[in-house]
Structure formats: C-alpha cells, structure tokens
Structure 1
Amino acid sequence: MADKEQDEGRKAIFRIPRTSFMAIALLTICVTPIALGEIPYLQWLYIFPIALAVFVIRTRTIATREGLATRTMFGHRDVPWSALKGLAITKKSRVQAVLKDDTKLPLPTVRTRHLPVLSLVSEGLVADPSGQLAAEDIKPGKPGAPASE
C-alpha cells in the first residue's frame, strides 16, 4: 500500500467546504413554505438548492504529480505541469494558471494561502513565493529511504 502511495506522489484536493451543505439545507427549509404554499406551480423553486448542491459537489481543483485537474459545474480540464507557464493572482486572492499560450485558466477554490501546497505537490515545478518551505521539503522522497522523524 505504501509503495502505491509513493508511486503516485503527493496529491492535493481543493474543494468547497462540506459545511456549505448546512446553508443549502437551510435554504431548502426556507423555500419549502413558498413552494408548497397556496400558490400553485412554485415547486420549481427547489431547483436552486439542488443546483447549489451540485455546484458544491462538482467544483474542485486536484493537484497531482502529473499536473492540475480543474472541475467546474459543467466541465473539466486537465493541465500537465509542462503546459504551465506560471500562476497569476487576482485582486481577490484567487489563483489562475497561466498556460504557455498565455491563456488563463481559473483554479476553482485555490487561494494564495494554498501556494505552498501546490509547490509541494508539483515537486518544485511551481515555486513557493511565501518562502515557508525548505528545499528538502519540496523534493520527492526516495523509495526505500527511511523516513526521518
């Protein structure tokens, strides 16, 4: 089992916190008196909580040794690290991947505080601008090498 994890390398999944389902449940409770009230045909209001739940479940960014995989409500895209030119930071601390053809790919749920994690997962291909990581932290572990405590 440990050999399989070593071969796959590090993996990070950035997604919307699951506690947002509590807000969706509250929205469903609030919509219920209106949808089931005296005015007919308002059951379509349940579309909003269902759409929000699908959004929370689907939206994520997965970083692996091979590259980035972004998944949105209606699509997905895989980007290898070799196709990445760099990362751009927007005004709201969101991170975008800049590809070699200068197109920008938004990375859902990835913020500037996640950049050290991206550096660890990419094994140094993405630089850590925060300076929190040492060089030995970024390098992948050697198979069969004892783990230091």
Structure 2
Amino acid sequence: MSSPHQSVPPAKSSHTPESGSATGSAPEASEPKQTAQVIRITQMAYLGVLVLLFCVFFAFVGWPIALWWLLLIPVAAAVWIARTRTTVSEDGLELRTVFGSRHLDWAQIAGVSIPKRGFVRARLTDDTEVKLPAVSYDRLRDLIRAANGRIPDLFAAEAAAREAEYEAREAEAKKSETEAPAAETEAQDSDS
C-alpha cells in the first residue's frame, strides 16, 4: 500500500539533458568569461529624493498653480540616480549619464586621476580627461578590482611607499642606536 505523500521519480522531461549533451553543464575552459561590473550611485540616494519631495511638496500645496514645476526637481534627481553608471567590462568602460553615453576602450585609457571633489576621472592617451559617472573615491577600489589590472592599483602603490618609508626609518633608528654606544666609548677613552 502506498502513501499519498510518497516520493515518485519524475517522468522524463524535455528539459532534462541527455547524457553526453552540453545542456546544463559547466562552460568549457576555451569560452571567455564575459563579466561586467556596474558601478552605480548608491540606492540610499533615493532617501534624499524622498526628503526633497517632502520639502517641495509643502511649497507646492501653498500655491499649486505657480509652483507645480517644483515637483519636477525630485523627479529629475531620481532619473539622475537611476541612469548614472559606469560599466566595467572586458571591452572597456561604458559611461552613462542622464542625457548620453560613451564607450572607452582599454587602449584609450592611460590612467585615472582623483579630484578633490566629484567623480574620478579617466586620463586618456590623448591627454584629455573624462569623468567616470558614479565612481567616487569610495568606489575606486571596485573600479580597480573590476579592471583586472588594466588600471594600476593606486592603493597598493601607496601602501608599498608607506611600507618602504617605515622600513627606512627603522633602519636609520637601528643605525643610530649602534653608533651611539660606539661614540660613548670613544668619548670615555679620550677623557682618560
């Protein structure tokens, strides 16, 4: 006697791969792995849009016929957050802003520069600079990691320089420690 809850193996399905077929198997090693990382403005920025909408709404309620256009400001901010992004792929960088987009091949990029304010800039081989939308200083590590060595790791170079400076200071301190006792013994010998 069988139970209604008894497990029954499924019938042969058209979605089940046949033995020896490539359906459902891992990709072959010869196929290149195409991954793209998208760097966007954080989704927490929409919270700022809600605060802006709240502030603008009170002015709109006071005089709706003349101040209806104030409601467009939060909408424009939301569109800016949704569209602004930098996509890093094997082909290069795809830069998207509210009103346009641009593709940069890796061969065009000579390096990056970090301004005091605003987004990181890509320095091109023709000595021009292009803003990288949504890539601020705090997202620079994501860009460097996604570039797979095509953009030099600025943080590793800075850490190596700091380490070299620290080692040089330690070596100088040890040298001065060994010279100090020798100078004291010479001074004592000359006094006698």
5+ residue gaps, structure 1: 133-149
SS state at 1:131 partner: helix
When structure 1 is superposed on structure 2, of 90-99 and 56-65 the one drifting more is 90-99
Deviation at 1:126, TM superposition (A): 1.3
When structure 1 is superposed on structure 2, of 110-119 and 81-90 the one drifting more is 110-119
SS state at 2:86 partner: strand
User: How many residues matched?
Assistant: 131
Scaled by the length of structure 2, the TM-score of the pair is 0.59
Partner of 2:77: 52
Distance 1:50 1:14 in 2: 21
Amino acid aligned to 2:60: A
Match of 1:30 among 55, 74, 82: 55
Partner of 1:42: 67
Distance 1:46 1:119 in 2: 38
Partner of 2:123: 98
SS state at 1:119 partner: helix
Match of 2:133 among 97, 105, 108: 108
Partner of 1:13: 38
Question: Does the 8 Å contact 2:135/2:143 carry over to 1?
Answer: no
| Cα root mean square deviation, aligned | 2.6
When residues 116 and 49 of structure 1 are mapped into structure 2, their CA distance, relative to the original with a 3 A threshold, is closer
Match of 1:3 among 27, 31, 34: 27
Amino acid aligned to 1:70: L
SS state at 1:108 partner: coil
Question: Does the 8 Å contact 1:96/1:104 carry over to 2?
Answer: yes
When residues 112 and 33 of structure 1 are mapped into structure 2, their CA distance, relative to the original with a 3 A threshold, is closer
Identity of aligned residues (%): 33
When residues 67 and 41 of structure 1 are mapped into structure 2, their CA distance, relative to the original with a 3 A threshold, is same
When residues 43 and 111 of structure 1 are mapped into structure 2, their CA distance, relative to the original with a 3 A threshold, is closer
When residues 84 and 58 of structure 1 are mapped into structure 2, their CA distance, relative to the original with a 3 A threshold, is same
SS state at 2:154 partner: coil
Structure whose CA Rg is larger: 2
5+ residue gaps, structure 2: 1-23, 158-192
1:69-84 to 2 correspondences below 5 Å: 69-84=94-109
- Deviation sequence 1:86-124 (CA, Å, 0-9, x none): 112212374211111111001122134444433332221
Scaled by the length of structure 1, the TM-score of the pair is 0.75
Distance 2:63 2:140 in 1: 52
Higher fraction of helix: 2
Higher fraction of strand: 1
